[in-house]
Amino acid sequence: MNIKTKIRNNCFSLPKGVNWCPVDTALRTLKESLHTLCEPMKISTLASEGYTLSQSINAEVSNPSFSNSAVDGYGFSGSTTEGLNEFSLISETAFAGAPFIGRVPQFHAIEIMTGASLPTGVDTVVLNEDVTLDNRKLTFSGKLKTGSNVRLAGEDVLRGDLLFDKGHRLRPQDLALLIATGVKNVEVYEPLRVGVLSTGNEVLEPSSSTKDDLDEAMIFDSNRPMLRSLINKWGCDVINVGLEIDDIGKIRQKLNMAAENCDVLLTTGGASAGRADYLSKLIKEEGTLFEWRIAVKPGRPLAMGVWKGMPVFGLPGNPVAAYVCTLIFFYPAMCSMSGSGWQEPQAFLVPANFQKTKLPGRREFLRARLNEKSEAEVFRSEGSGRISGLSWSTGLVELPDKALEINKGDNVKYIPYSSFGI
């Protein structure tokens, strides 16, 4: 298995001459540069939900492993009594977990329960409520097709069939299939260890501060809890690197700690090129920094760096921009680094229930939700600090880089948050 634990220092370098980086160029660069950072391990199937497979999985046994009744009813040989709807009922009963030993004679039927193995001589079952019993004579009206109401061995999955490819992230329903087909253990990737760091003199730790600590210059750190929750939903191990003031020495300590404990670091604040952006300054001087000015709204400044072999994603500080950039850029990159491969969100064309004149030059992502007519409505403000719009929305409307005039009823590209696994 070619698993790499370090990443090239130039992995995020853009093509020469690129200043304002188009969204598609940024995504293509990430896709071509990143690789799996996680090591494989074996775990019990029972504990595998949320993990990503490092090996493909095949069925150990067929499902179902034996032919059985799909209903409570009466079983008989439909193949040798075609068209017959009157049978003699034998005295025995076939129960689930207690198969009938013996053969059901031709022109006879046996009472059988749901899930019970089909006795020899039975290939068809009539529903309990569709029969009439009179002195152990069973009759029903109409014709019953041979093979009705039975589940044949292997009709769902045959032993040896491919269940899941490498890179598939296991869901609760997948565990049911694995267990039903006899898979006791699976080879998976260890969870990607994602550190989350906030920086800024104006930011307060929400767990240890109150509204009384606020003044006109201070804000609560809402970015880190939001990002930690997102990353946790994606099956990663979240490492809280904490909150740090704008101090070169202290930020250096945070980066060193993260490099020892994290596969990748996600930061907010200090990632641009201003005088107070110490995080990007430090990575540029002592690590490797690529300052991407991405033609995206909300967002734009996205610092991509490497610190002691650890990729660093420096997100914008405004909560809306941080959230959108995490979905658009970090989510597919995270999927690639965690072993599930590059994942692009599924989008849908829906009618717009809004009007907008868009200028050329930037890809725009509007907070949106669908109304009762499945039309896309957008939040009343496009401001990156309007956090309420994130709670209001259920997805994003993506507008292309070019100039655009949108009127009500025009088709627009809608990406539900569920396409990002949330």
Dump pLDDT digits (tens) for 156-168. Answer: 999 999 999 999 9
For residue 64, whether the previous peptide bond is cis, meaning omega lies within 30 degrees of 0, is: yes
Q: What is the mean pLDDT of the chain?
A: 90
What would the mean pLDDT of 405-419 be, rounded to a whole number?
97
What would the mean pLDDT of 172-194 be, rounded to a whole number?
97
Answer CATH for 20-39+190-338 from 2.40.30.20, 1.20.1740.10, 3.30.413.10, 3.40.980.10:
3.40.980.10
What would the mean pLDDT of 364-371 be, rounded to a whole number?
96
Residue 55 carries which side chain, given as an amino acid letter? Answer: Q
* Tokens encoding 331: 């989510």
Work out the end-to-end distance of the chain between its first and last CA atoms, rounded to an integer number of angstroms.
Answer: 30
Res. 382 pLDDT band, cuts 50 70 90: confident
Answer CATH for 42-63+155-189 from 3.30.420.40, 3.90.105.10, 3.20.20.80, 3.30.830.10:
3.90.105.10
What would the mean pLDDT of 307-336 be, rounded to a whole number?
93
Tell me what pLDDT residue 248 has. 87
* CA distances for 397 relative to 347, 382, 392, 416, angstroms: 9, 12, 14, 9
For residues 422 and 331, what is the distance between their CA atoms, to the nearest angstrom?
A: 11
Residue with more model confidence, 52 or 248: 52
Tell me what pLDDT residue 403 has. 94
Q: To the nearest whole percent, how much of the chain has pLDDT over 70?
A: 92
Which candidate, 310, 336, 53, places its Cα nearest to that of 190? 53
Tell me what pLDDT residue 310 has. 93
Tell me what pLDDT residue 36 has. 93
Which candidate, 81, 70, 71, places its Cα nearest to that of 104? 81
> What would the pLDDT profile of 273-304 be if each residue is shown by its tens digit?
555 567 888 888 898 887 677 888 998 777 88
Task: Give pTM, 2 decimals.
Answer: 0.86
Res. 3 pLDDT band, cuts 50 70 90: very low
Neighbouring CB atoms inside 10 A of 255's CB total 27
> What would the pLDDT profile of 26-81 be if each residue is shown by its tens digit?
899 889 888 999 999 999 999 999 999 999 999 999 999 999 999 999 999 999 98
What kind of architecture, by CATH, is found in domain 348-420? Answer: Beta Barrel (2.40)
The domain made up of 68-151 has a fold known as Molybdopterin biosynthesis moeA protein; domain 3 (2.170.190)
Tell me what pLDDT residue 1 has. 37
Residue 228 pLDDT > 70: yes
Domain map of the chain by residue range? 20-39+190-338, 42-63+155-189, 68-151, 348-420
Tell me what pLDDT residue 293 has. 78
Residue 57 carries which side chain, given as an amino acid letter? Answer: I
Residue 358 pLDDT > 70: yes
For residues 90 and 92, what is the distance between their CA atoms, to the nearest angstrom?
A: 6
Res. 82 pLDDT band, cuts 50 70 90: confident
What would the mean pLDDT of 399-404 be, rounded to a whole number?
94
| Cβ partners under 8 Å of residue 322, min gap 6 | 223, 226, 227, 268, 315, 316
Least confident of 177-191, 241-255, 268-282, 306-320: 268-282
Residue 367 pLDDT > 60: yes
